[in-house]
Structure 1
Amino acid sequence: MNLGTLVECAVGRNPNVVALVQDNRSYTFAQMHEEVNRLASSLQKLGVKKRDRVMVLLKNRIETVCLFWAIQKLGAIFTPINLRLSPEDTQHCIDDAEPKIVVYEKYSKRAVLQAKFNERPILIGLEQDEGDLSYRELLARGTRTFASLPCDDDDIAVMLYTSGTTGVPKGVPRSHKNEYASTVSHIIQNQYAFFESTLGVMPLYHTMGLRSLLAMCLLSGKYVIAPDFDPRTALTLLAREKISSLYMIPTMYHELLHDPCFAEFDLSALTKIGYAGAPMSTSLTKKCFAMLKPQFFLNHYGSTEIYTFTTCSFLDKKPGCAGKPGIHQKIRLVEPNADGSSTAHDVVQPGEVGEIIVHAGSDEAFKGYWNRPDATRKAIRDNWYFTGDLGILDEDGDLYIVGRVDEMVISGGENISPMEIESVLAEHPKVLEAVVLGEEDDRWGQIVVAFIVPQDATLTVLELDQFCKQHPKLSNFKRPRKYVFVEEIPKSPAGKIRRSELKGYYVLRNDR
């Protein structure tokens, strides 16, 4: 399956249906396809061919979407980069991918123009008079028709760089088959239908963003683009465009529901919501049900490397549950060892915490990292992908995520999951956010430290400690021995907590 043919099929089915909306611009599938063809033919004239990397440093825009489809029609590799990466990480991605073309805008201009290239790519600027040529000049040089070039299922369509919380970003090559299978899974798992619509707010350098875009194309649906997430703008678009489905990280739902003008917007068209990328607290899950009133609500647990691990669609009964394996997947829980010594055969007993591993033979699974055989060997063993996540299966065989292998706190010989304590702390009405880390201790090995963003300035350490002591779900040895009040929790653009930054802040604060 060549992804480039998907847009051709969509045009053949419904050429006059609206495909893209951004601000006061809208494109039908036929109009979008003409722009895609002009870009593809123009890029081909510049020498772009199969397997060439086209690096895109753009926000979600109509231009980004059209470039994605043009690159697919050429059999080249769409390589989007997070605009918020540090200059060092951007340079690493450039060195790693060795792009033939780099497309940038004003927000990424500095990083691109200051970068060093082994072989200088052609630079294309979104704005006029930028780069070697501008996007509009690229468009003007193209032709209205262009047929997709032949591609095999296993040819690389996309390379995403994992955001990660430590180390340099790793390139994750994803084939046409990977992307197609993942999108079909996404549609089935979210119960999407033809002519669905969604808010394109998750960035297209993220697997969640690509999944939303591809799903809308397969379903002749409407992709409403939001270059920047702002809760008021999102609410306006949801109401104005009568959007039927949402797929976002929990942080975005939190901001959406806490907008002071939320009640003024008619969101009755929104019937299907889903989240991924980070855990959602029980309280936020309940608020989503109460305020959005979805007919369908899904927790999707997966990764850039393998799109789906598990899904849960009964969050009203089991908030926070990750559910059962996706339609293509098999999972296991094995002995957790941070040194990577576990094997796929070290399966833990039912009810025990173990590292979650996912079979790497499914159509959704990548084959290995770009230029990183060391990382590939560590991640894929015996044809199983070791996620680094800790989980436990309940009596129904449903999965719950309880933390990370490298974040486990070991105190007095007991394994303590940070996520378990964070969940308890989040129940306190004066707590906005909570993150738990381990601190070295001469007596216990490690002690539990809780970082708290207060909802109410009157919150005290004594109040929190009493709350934890009296909580029926928290064993006494697991309760925090220290509390640190902070203004915010550092997160990646994908909503993942940057624990290393939090720990560094704590060390600096205690050294003063």
Structure 2
Amino acid sequence: MQKGSGSAQEVEYRYPPWVRRYIDIPEESVYDAFALSVKENSGRPAVYFLGRRMTYSELGEYVDAMAEILRDQGVSRGSRVMVLMPNVPHYIVTFFACMKLGAVVVQANPLYTVRELSYELSDSGSSTLVTVDIVAGRLKGLDLSGVRVLVLDTMDFLPGGKAMLFPLSRQGREARGSLKALGLRTVRIRVGRNGPPEKVDPAKHPALIQYTGGTTGMPKGAVLSHRNLVANAYQIIEWLPEKYRKHTSYLSAAPFFHVYGMMTAMLLPLIQGATMYLVPDPRDTGMIVDYLERFGPTAFPGIPTMYHSIVSRKDISARKINRVKVCISGAMPLPVELQKRFEEVTGATLVEGYGLSECSPVANVTPIVEEDRDSWRRPGSVGLPLPSTEERIVSLADPDRDVPLGEEGELLIRGPQVMLGYWNREDETREVLRDGWLHTGDIARMDSDGYVYIVGRKKELIIASGYNVYPREVEDVIYQNPKVAQCAVIGVPDEHRGETVKAVIVPKDRSLTADEVIGFCRERLAAYKVPRIVEFRDSLPMTAVGKVDKLRLKQEYLGKNGG
């Protein structure tokens, strides 16, 4: 056990024997870490994508070529570049090309509507947008004045001559319309130059803007430095049993545009020198199971929704998916019964982690111990702080006072992975970052071994299938419907999604239907934000100070549905 101060009482952290409490973080940029891995693993396979394999050396060449393309487009240190893609090699190439130039990647969800993309494009001040042809249709209706747009060709990274891939090519051509696609394969040969990487200060220079938020307004951009991202990767590597730290393989199905997928399914594997099997659509459970069976990847970072979809398949008992060994579940709570069922089906070790966009994102993970693993687990816990991560539980009434072990309070985090702040939000940055401590807004408790239990959220954030849904944003859309007088959006338990979105509405026009509300939202919001449950009432419950009593709405739902 290793001692540390994490609350009003001293904690005896119960770490596995190979995990050090504190580690040294290399003073390097994200590109430096990538380039070193390319050098050390040049001939090893880096990426598998729909039949195409690419070595680290090839990947490095594509990154260098893309960096020159972006440089020619005026991208330089500090430029914000919005990346709008699913899990395709083009994402990886563009991400590290930006890192080489010292540009700041703005990750965007390709499922977003024009309204959502417009906000993040404008708020971030992105001067360049890079997408891939199969999702280029998302740009229709987007105000791109003053923004350089690069559309990459999906077929660049697909093996030629396969009839099964032709529909994908046609889909790309149709989606991009009049936009011309840029062929990286041709450009890689034509560029013929490889400029040096831009010098950056890893601790101070932004590498990534990841949009996140709460219930008080539109999403905020968490600014993550090169050191934040590199540190989090090395913290997770330290957590892994030694036999899984180098030259392993990953099923990379968690979306890269989500900070959890970016870290655990892309950056972490590439720094390790691992092979990544890309799954473009995380909802494609068939492909996920096929890859688990066919390639037998060692690691599969995912979210509970993915694991639930796998164990729910009727044919799963007949599938040979027992070569996967390490699975880290993040982005939303992992039900204990799901954990047990998945481990029974695969034989893997599935552990739960906890994090936030503001922490790059991983802060806590349950020990990954394969032998006698139950003795290392605490039901309901998200595990221990990662190496070099300090945590406190403070009083909700007095954030300067630590509460005794076992008592509930707000979780505070300090470590090398904690963000620089929110993009252009100085007031909100000061509110959550105080004396180096990140005030998470999550209510938690800590036991004497250092295990943390998340028991609630101060903010009303809904996490549906691992994605953040901000009630205020959904309410703002619903209020645009002239038939709505009042509305309140809450998160309610869902077996498959963890939580789902429920809208409680007082109609102005009695002809309003649930289908109409859902359809209205579907036109203006990403699918995962659209309410799945709509309830109509004559009035909404109010608190003593005149606010909608969302806690009561939740309690009423749980009372009626056995929650």
1:49 aligned onto 2:76: yes
Do the aligned partners of 1:392 and 1:402 also contact (CA within 8 Å) in 2?
Answer: yes
Structure 2: distance between partners of 1:14 and 1:73: 19
2:535 is matched with: 506
1:136-183 Cα distance to aligned partner (Å, 9 max, x none): 169525236443222221211122112757732211121111110000
- The correspondence of residues 307-322 of structure 1 with structure 2, limited to 5 A, is 307-313=361-367, 316=374, 317-322=377-382
Q: 1:20 to 1:366 in 2, by over 3 A?
A: same
Structure 2 counterpart SS, 1:246: coil
1:244 is matched with: 298
- The correspondence of residues 56-455 of structure 1 with structure 2, limited to 5 A, is 56-106=83-133, 108-117=135-144, 119-126=146-153, 127=172, 133-136=180-183, 140=187, 142-143=191-192, 145-153=194-202, 154-162=204-212, 167-191=217-241, 192-211=244-263, 212-229=265-282, 230-294=284-348, 296-306=349-359, 307-313=361-367, 316=374, 317-336=377-396, 342-343=398-399, 345-359=400-414, 362-407=415-460
Structure 2: distance between partners of 1:161 and 1:451: 23
Q: 1:138 to 1:368 in 2, by over 3 A?
A: farther
- Larger displacement relative to structure 2 (161-170 or 219-228): 161-170
Do the aligned partners of 2:225 and 2:420 also contact (CA within 8 Å) in 1?
Answer: no
Query: Which AA in structure 2 matches 1:374?
Result: D
- Larger displacement relative to structure 2 (21-30 or 347-356): 347-356
Q: 1:38 to 1:249 in 2, by over 3 A?
A: same
- The correspondence of residues 483-494 of structure 1 with structure 2, limited to 5 A, is none
1:452 deviates by 6.4
Q: 1:267 to 1:137 in 2, by over 3 A?
A: closer
Query: Which AA in structure 1 matches 2:143?
Result: K
Structure 2 counterpart SS, 1:278: coil
Q: 1:146 to 1:20 in 2, by over 3 A?
A: farther
1:510 deviates by 8.3
Structure 1: distance between partners of 2:224 and 2:448: 35
Do the aligned partners of 1:285 and 1:319 also contact (CA within 8 Å) in 2?
Answer: no
Q: 1:19 to 1:451 in 2, by over 3 A?
A: closer
Q: 1:334 to 1:29 in 2, by over 3 A?
A: same
Do the aligned partners of 1:57 and 1:83 also contact (CA within 8 Å) in 2?
Answer: yes
Query: Which AA in structure 1 matches 2:407?
Result: E
Query: Which AA in structure 1 matches 2:406?
Result: G
Structure 2: distance between partners of 1:131 and 1:178: 39
Query: Which AA in structure 2 matches 1:270?
Result: V
Point out which structure has higher relative CO (alpha carbons under 8 A, 6+ apart).
Answer: 2
1:242-262 Cα distance to aligned partner (Å, 9 max, x none): 200011111111111111222
1:496 deviates by 13
Query: Which AA in structure 1 matches 2:246?
Result: F
Do the aligned partners of 1:40 and 1:70 also contact (CA within 8 Å) in 2?
Answer: yes
Structure 2: 5+ residue stretches without partners: 1-27, 154-171, 464-489, 497-517, 541-563
- Larger displacement relative to structure 2 (32-41 or 123-132): 123-132
Query: Which AA in structure 2 matches 1:169?
Result: P
Do the aligned partners of 2:323 and 2:346 also contact (CA within 8 Å) in 1?
Answer: no
Structure 1: distance between partners of 2:63 and 2:33: 12
2:3 is matched with: none
TM-score by length of 2: 0.69
- Larger displacement relative to structure 2 (220-229 or 9-18): 9-18
Structure 1: distance between partners of 2:54 and 2:493: 46
Do the aligned partners of 1:277 and 1:496 also contact (CA within 8 Å) in 2?
Answer: no
Query: Which AA in structure 2 matches 1:333?
Result: I
Structure 1: 5+ residue stretches without partners: 409-417, 420-448, 456-487
Structure 2: distance between partners of 1:107 and 1:166: 34
2:554 is matched with: none
Query: Which AA in structure 1 matches 2:535?
Result: Y
Q: 1:148 to 1:451 in 2, by over 3 A?
A: closer
Structure 1: distance between partners of 2:186 and 2:34: 18
Do the aligned partners of 1:99 and 1:121 also contact (CA within 8 Å) in 2?
Answer: no
Do the aligned partners of 2:111 and 2:527 also contact (CA within 8 Å) in 1?
Answer: no
Give the RMSD, CA atoms, in angstroms: 3.2
Query: Which AA in structure 2 matches 1:312?
Result: T
Query: Which AA in structure 1 matches 2:201?
Result: D
